[in-house]
Amino acid sequence: MVDTQLTPDLIQEGVTLVEGLDEAGVSPSAALWFYFPDIAAWRLVLGEVQVGPKGPREAYRVVQKTLKRLRNRISHLALEDIVMAKPDARMIQLLRQVGAAGPGISGMRVTSDVINGTLIEDAYIYRLKKPA
């Protein structure tokens, strides 16, 4: 369960999960930690991965399976801490304006930034692929 603080352990576990999803062949187009002030919580946001015709439900199953496979390296991150988002979701579009990270995994923090009139309290970006 994620606390109100994004710790180095959680950042590393996010990297581990994204790498695991990449290895499973279901690379998310976007992967980032985002602080949601309305619920006072961090969530790992994954740009919806396309996993067959079942859509997000199947994507969550793949994420859960990956979490289980990596349980010896992921101890704090749980499925309820993860949110699937469409690649064209507003938060993802806004953060792309700060800078699009490539297909690999990077680390870019955005804190107290106003983008197009929207306050981004805090985010930690691993990946933001540009739309095809």
The total of structural domains in the chain comes to 1
Q: To 10 degrees, the CA torsion angle through 32, 33, 34, 35?
A: -170
pLDDT at 31: 92
Single out the residue of 110, 106, 112 nearest to residue 124, CA to CA.
110
Specify the residue for token string 């304006």. Answer: 97
Decide if 89 is inside a domain: yes
pLDDT at 54: 66
The residues with which 43 forms a beta bridge, in sequence order, are: 34
pLDDT at 102: 60
Decide if 1 is inside a domain: no
CA distance 3 to 89: 24
pLDDT at 104: 67
Decide if 22 is inside a domain: yes
Decide if 98 is inside a domain: yes
Pairing of strands 108-115, 118-128: antiparallel
DSSP string for 40-85: TEEEEEEEPP--GGGTHHHHHHHHHHHHHHTTTT-SS--GGGEEEE
Decide if 104 is inside a domain: yes
Decide if 3 is inside a domain: no
pLDDT at 19: 95
pLDDT under 50 in the chain at which residues?
A: 1
Decide if 101 is inside a domain: yes
pLDDT at 36: 92
Task: Show the domain range for 118.
Answer: 8-128
Single out the residue of 11, 31, 29 nearest to residue 83, CA to CA.
31
